[in-house]
Amino acid sequence: MRIVRLRRRARIVDGQDILSEVLDHPGPTDTMFDVLAACIAALASGPRVVVLGFAGGGVVAPLRAMGFGTPLTAVDLSLRGERLFRELSGSWVGRVDVIRSDAASWLIRRRTRYDLILEDLSVPSTDEAVKPVISLDTLPELMQQRLRPRGIAVTNVLPVPGSPWRPVLEHLAAPFQRAHVVHLDDYVNRILLAGALPAAAAVSRALREALARIGSLQAGRLSVRELEPQATPSTSRARARARSTKSRG
């Protein structure tokens, strides 16, 4: 992991992957971190927000620029990025508590239920960053259990080598009542939104408005689609029966 210093910002880089874009002022990064911040600002139904995977706090500058000023809790196995975050952003970010811990272990110990949980975990691999195992086999159900009734889970999903997107996204969304997928023009990543969500069109509009308010280039570079379960022969027959019953009524 290395730090690349630029004018009024710095990047935390691991190989080809940018783990954080850290600003010395509240404002847009013009990267995917703006979109993650918009998911919080537009979808959190209350102030209780936790970020799993902090690195250098790339979401904080755009989030504060969007007017979301409530305290944040973040969890990460390493605090190396936090030092850069405090150096560049410490004077204006407000309360941001960063806890060194394994994300799953920390959530298991907590009794708090959250309005929104952002999962932005990754681990280095041979060619590029990938999701850790706990993101696939432990965290989806655990996050659902730690959300309030109107809570939302936001997951930054990276490609899983050898697996198509569809089964990965459906697996991550399985514990939740509804899910949408944010597609990004500039990134291979997908952002999975899961929980008590409005319609995909309303979510897309809310994200774009939040991004446009801070002048982020990402405002026009995303789309949101509902993740509908793929129809099987049995579900298709069930839907046909439901339509037939309704038409007779």
179-192 pLDDT, tens per residue? 999 999 999 999 99
Residues 6 or more apart in contact with residue 26 via CB below 8 angstroms: 61, 62, 64, 65, 92, 93
Q: What is the DSSP letter of 121?
A: -
Total count of domains within the chain: 1
Helix, strand, or coil here: 202?
helix
Count the helix, strand and coil residues of the chain and give each as a percent rounded to the nearest 5: 35, 25, 35
79-98 pLDDT, tens per residue? 999 999 999 998 899 999 99
pLDDT of residue 248: 34
Question: CA 131, CA 125: separation in Å to the nearest integer?
Answer: 9
CATH of the domain at 20: 3.40.50.150
At CA 199, angle to CA 194 and CA 201, rounded to 5? 115
pLDDT class of 230 with cuts at 50, 70, 90: low
Residues 6 or more apart in contact with residue 82 via CB below 8 angstroms: 54, 56, 57, 76, 98
At CA 190, angle to CA 138 and CA 59, rounded to 5? 85
**Residue 172 in contact with residue 139, Cβ under 8 Å?**
no
123-168 pLDDT, tens per residue? 887 677 889 999 999 999 999 999 999 999 999 999 998 899 999 9
Enclosing domain of residue 146: 2-248
